[in-house]
Amino acid sequence: MKWGFDCRYLCPEPYPEVNAEFVRSHGIRLFQFAIEGSKHRTGCLVGSFRKLQKWPLSSVFEEYNRFAASKARPSDLAFISNFDVSYKLRALYIIYRFYGYGSRVKRLVYQDSSS
């Protein structure tokens, strides 16, 4: 069964072979972002993704602080706060359309089983 999903792996260590085989066998694309040397960069990247997902900034900060704990930095929170989502969304839309996705793509439709 091919799922057509993407998987993001944010660690510098090699992706576990058992997991890699599962990903390959199900048609899942693996993207590894090797963010070495600092968990702060990972926190900034995840915080930026959360803003793209339209999370409230307070929730983004809460998640960042929960994982960064005593290593939280004001400069990271400033970066996340100032991350310009509108520019990134336009760029992602262009890439999305370039690869043929859009209004003509089949979408899942909710159908109420009671009707």
Question: Is there a contact between 71 and 40 (Cβ–Cβ < 8 Å)?
Answer: yes
Q: Which residues pair with 29 in a beta bridge?
A: 6
Q: Is 9 exposed, middle or buried (0-12, 13-18, 19+ CB in 10 A)?
A: middle
**Domain locations along the chain:** 1-34, 37-99
Higher-confidence residue of 31 and 74: namely 74
Question: Is there a contact between 45 and 33 (Cβ–Cβ < 8 Å)?
Answer: yes
CATH fold of 37-99: Protein-Tyrosine Phosphatase; Chain A (3.90.190)
Model pLDDT for residues 38-64, shown as the tens digit of each residue: 556 778 888 888 988 889 999 999 999
What is the reported pLDDT for 56? Answer: 94
What is the reported pLDDT for 115? Answer: 46
Whether pLDDT at 98 is above 70: no
pTM > 0.75: yes or no: no
